[in-house]
Amino acid sequence: MRPEHSDLYSDHNWKPNPALAMPLYRQIADYIRQKITTGEWSAGYRLPSQRTMAASMDVNRSTVVTALDHLTAAGMIEGRHGGGTYVCGSGWHSMAHTSMPNWSEAAQEGWYYPNLPEIQQINQTEFQPDIIRLGTGELAPELLPHKAFNEILRTLSNRPHTLNYIEPQGSLELREALSAHLQTTGIPASPDSILIVSGSLQALHLISVGLLPRGSSVLLEKPSYLYSIHAFQSAGLKLSGIPMDEEGVHIGHLERAIQTAKKMNGDGHNESFPMLYTIPSFHNPTGNAMSSRRREELMTLARSSGISILEDGAYQELWLDHPPPPSLKSLDQEGRVLHLGTLSKAVSPGLRLGWLVGPVPVIRRLADIKMQTDYGTSSLAQEAATLWFADGHHASHMEWLRPELQRRRDFMLDLLQHYLHDIARWTTPEGGFYIWLQFTIEPLSIRRLFHACLEEKVLIHPGYLYDRLDASHIRLSYAYASQDEMERGLICLAQAVRRLTTASLL
C-alpha cells in the first residue's frame, strides 16, 4: 500500500489570528501541537507541505518554517530523508506515553487499497468553492430536481414514516415501483429480483465479496471507470482490460481474454466466472454507446462461453439525440446479466440510492451480506424514492433534463472547436456526461497538465485514472460547470497545454 501522504491539507478553515498579541508562528505551533497531543495527528503522520500550510493559513512560508522549527526542537516532529515532515514516533511520544499506538502504520495494514493520489486530490479539491470542475461526473445543482423533492418531502411529512429497519432487499413499495419503471425500459424484473443498495459503489462491493472467489478474473472495457476505484482489486480479484472500438467492447479480444481467464481460474466448470463489467450506454469515460449489433454479438458470446455480465446502466436514460439500443438485461433470457441502476447520475447523488437486478438466489445472497454491513439503506431515502417513481416525477424530470444537458454538450463542443481544434480531437457523445478528449500535440505530460491546471483552479480528470497506461486523454464533463466556467476553464486548459509543450521543446 502507498505510504500516508497528507499534502491534501484537510483542516483548511483554520487560520492564525493577526489581531492576537501572540505571534503568528506561535499560534501555528500551538495549533499543530494540539493536533499531536490529542492524537489526531498520530506517530508517523506526514504533515502537509510547508507551501500547502502557508497557502491555507494565509501566512508567509517563513512563518510556517519558524513554527515547525520550534516543534522540531521540542521533539514533536522530524524531517526525514527523502523529504517530508512527520510526527515523531519516538522522543516526545515515548516520554509522554508508555505505549503510543502508531495509527499511521496501522492505517497501511488494512486490505482495502487506497485511492490514487490524484483521485484523493480530486475528491478534496471538488469541494473548494472557487474551483472550476471540468471533469465532475454529477449534475450541477441547478439541474437537480429541488422543486420535486420539496413536494415529495411535504407529502412525506403528512403521512406515517418507516423509522425502523426495512427487510433485507429493501422497501417492497420501492421495489414494486422500480419493477414498473424497469418494465418501461424493456427489463422484466419482479420485486423479488431487485436489491436496493446505497449507490452503485455498494453494489460493486457486494458483488466483489459475495459472488466472485479471490483470484478470479473480472473483464472490463479499457478504459473503464473500474480502474479508478478498488472494490474488485481489494477483494483479491484480477482486472483484465479489453480494448474498445467505435461499436463498443472488441469481441475478438474479449473472446481471447475469456479463454485466458478460464485457464487461469482453473477447469472452468463454474459458469459464473469470469465476469464482464460493462457500461454499454454512454460509457464512462469515453461517452460511447455500444451498437445494437455489438450487444447481440456480446450476448451470443456470453451464452457460448459461459461468462456472466455486470451491466452498469448509470447513464442509459441520459440520452441526448436518441435513445440507446435495448439494454443487455432486456436481451437476457438465461439470468446471465446483472443489471445495476442508480439515481445518482440523473436525479440526486446525495440520495445515495441504487438497485441491482438479478436472479433471486444472487439477490438474496447479496442482501444477506448487505445486512451484515449496514443493515439496510436509509428507510427515509427509500420512501422518497418510492414517491419519485410512483408519482411520475422521474419521467417528467428526464424530459426536462435531456434538452438541458444537450445544450451544455453542444456549448462545450463549440468551445472545444474554438480553443482546442488544433491540439486535440474528440467525438460527439450521444448521451451521458463525458467527452473523451485526446491531445494530438507532443510532448505533453498529462500528469503535469493536471497539476498545472489545478494551480489555476481548474480541475480535470486525467485519462490514466481510467487506463493506467493512457498518456494522451482527459475526461471532460459538461454536466457540472456553468457556461462561463466552461469557457474560462477550457481557455486555461488550452493555454496550459501550449505552455507545457513549448517548455518541453526548449
Mean pLDDT taken over the chain: 90
Which grid coordinates belong to 228?
479508478
pLDDT band of 504, cuts 50, 70, 90: confident
pLDDT above 50 for 94 = no
Average pLDDT over residues 86-92: 71
Is the Cβ–Cβ distance between 102 and 42 less than 8 Å? yes
User: What is the DSSP-derived secondary structure letter of residue 211?
Assistant: T
pLDDT in tens, 46-67: 898 898 899 889 999 999 999 9
Is the Cβ–Cβ distance between 423 and 439 less than 8 Å? yes
Report the run of H or E that residue 486 belongs to, with start and end.
helix 483-505
- Candidates 464, 433, 58; CA nearest to 281 is 433
In this prediction, residue 506 carries a pLDDT of: 65
Q: Thinking of the domain 146-391, which architecture would CATH place it in?
A: 3-Layer(aba) Sandwich (3.40)
pLDDT above 80 for 120 = yes
Query: Residue 60 carries which side chain, given as an amino acid letter?
Result: N
Q: For the chain, where do the domains classified as CATH 3.40.640.10 start and end?
A: 146-391
Average pLDDT over residues 366-384: 94
CATH number of 24-110: 1.10.10.10
What span, in angstroms and rounded, lies between the C-alpha atoms of 343 and 200? Answer: 9
What span, in angstroms and rounded, lies between the C-alpha atoms of 186 and 32? Answer: 58
Query: Which phi and psi angles does 296 have, rounded to 5°?
Result: -65, -40
pLDDT band of 484, cuts 50, 70, 90: very high
Place of cell 424484473: 189
Average pLDDT over residues 285-291: 97
pLDDT above 80 for 178 = yes
Report the run of H or E that residue 309 belongs to, with start and end.
strand 308-312
- Three-state DSSP class for residue 221: strand
Place of cell 436509509: 378
Q: For the chain, where do the domains classified as CATH 3.90.1150.10 start and end?
A: 132-137+396-505
In this prediction, residue 170 carries a pLDDT of: 96
What span, in angstroms and rounded, lies between the C-alpha atoms of 439 and 458? Answer: 17
Give ∠ CA 467-468-471 in degrees, rounded to 5. Answer: 85
In this prediction, residue 90 carries a pLDDT of: 59
Q: For the chain, where do the domains classified as CATH 1.10.10.10 start and end?
A: 24-110
What span, in angstroms and rounded, lies between the C-alpha atoms of 292 and 324? Answer: 9
CATH topology of domain 132-137+396-505: Aspartate Aminotransferase, domain 1 (3.90.1150)
Is the Cβ–Cβ distance between 130 and 455 less than 8 Å? no
Report the run of H or E that residue 222 belongs to, with start and end.
strand 217-222
Which residue has better confidence, 5 or 247? 247
pLDDT in tens, 223-232: 999 888 888 9
pLDDT in tens, 388-411: 999 999 999 999 999 999 999 999
In this prediction, residue 112 carries a pLDDT of: 81
pLDDT above 70 for 92 = no
Going from the C-alpha of 163 to that of each of 166, 256, 377, the distances in angstroms are 9, 51, 12
Which residue has better confidence, 235 or 90? 235
Which residue has better confidence, 355 or 10? 355
Beta bridge partners of 425: 438
